[in-house]
Amino acid sequence: MKYFKQTKIKEPVIDDYRHAEVFRKYQIDFSTRGDRTFEEVSEENHLLLSNLLEEINQVSDSLSGEADDYNEWKLDVLSDYIVSTHHQYSERQSLKIKKDLENLSTAIKKDFPETEKIKTLFQLISGEMAAHMKKEEIILFPFIKKLVQAQAENTKIQSAISRVENPINMMIHDHSDQIDAFKEINLLSNHYSSGENELSSIYQNLKELEEDLIKHIHLENNILFPKALILAKEYSNS
């Protein structure tokens, strides 16, 4: 598939997540700001539009083998996948990173004073992420499953639009805060690079968590949530 200057940047990533490597290379946010076009992104990031399009289309042409087509999954399946894959990973990784940051040696803290700010910032955002994920698991995702059931049974749900739209708007706002926090951690850690063994492991874990979070948010913001809103509008009785 070919992409053009007016294509929204989320579209190739929805088509195949392997396109994300191009946006990661240029640190372009496709998960929370995916509605921008290639033309807009090129201008904002001072990139040559033709080069960006050439890179994304080269990836598209080179793709081989089967990849998970999340865009074709039923919403109940996708929401379960997000919980079992991304929520659980985030919980495990966050606990490990917080512990490792707490246990940094005095010498490392002295030589790398930015680690104290990273620790404070990560403690805050990881706590917010944990609360955010619980809200999805307890409130939003179960209601999305009710929408899937309503579709299967061709029934209506009372006030379905507001019951899904309001929590989605809150989740989207949280996602922006999470991405912003990791952008700051990324900069503070010099893009997760350190010659110190004690820090390099922590930075690698932070990098992996950020990459997972970006995919996690993409699946929700660009696939799950828009489709849930469409279902809500179709199967709401008010």
Q: What is the pLDDT of residue 119?
A: 97
Phi/psi of residue 31, nearest 5 degrees: -85, -45
Q: What percent of the chain has pLDDT over 70?
A: 100
Q: What is the pLDDT of residue 150?
A: 96
**This prediction's pTM:** 0.95
Question: Is 219 within 8 Å of 10 (Cβ atoms)?
Answer: no
Q: Where are the domains of the chain?
A: 10-62, 70-234
Binning pLDDT at 50, 70 and 90, where does residue 112 land?
A: very high
Q: What is the pLDDT of residue 72?
A: 96
Question: Is 3 within 8 Å of 38 (Cβ atoms)?
Answer: yes
pLDDT per residue over 34-64, tens digit each? 999 999 999 999 999 999 999 999 999 999 8
- Nearest CA among 232, 77, 72 for reference residue 147: 232
Question: Is 15 within 8 Å of 222 (Cβ atoms)?
Answer: no
pLDDT per residue over 152-190, tens digit each? 999 999 999 999 999 999 999 999 999 999 999 999 999
Q: What percent of the chain has pLDDT over 90?
A: 93
**Mean pLDDT over residues 185-200, rounded?**
91
Angle made by CA atoms 11, 17, 22, in degrees to the nearest 5:
80
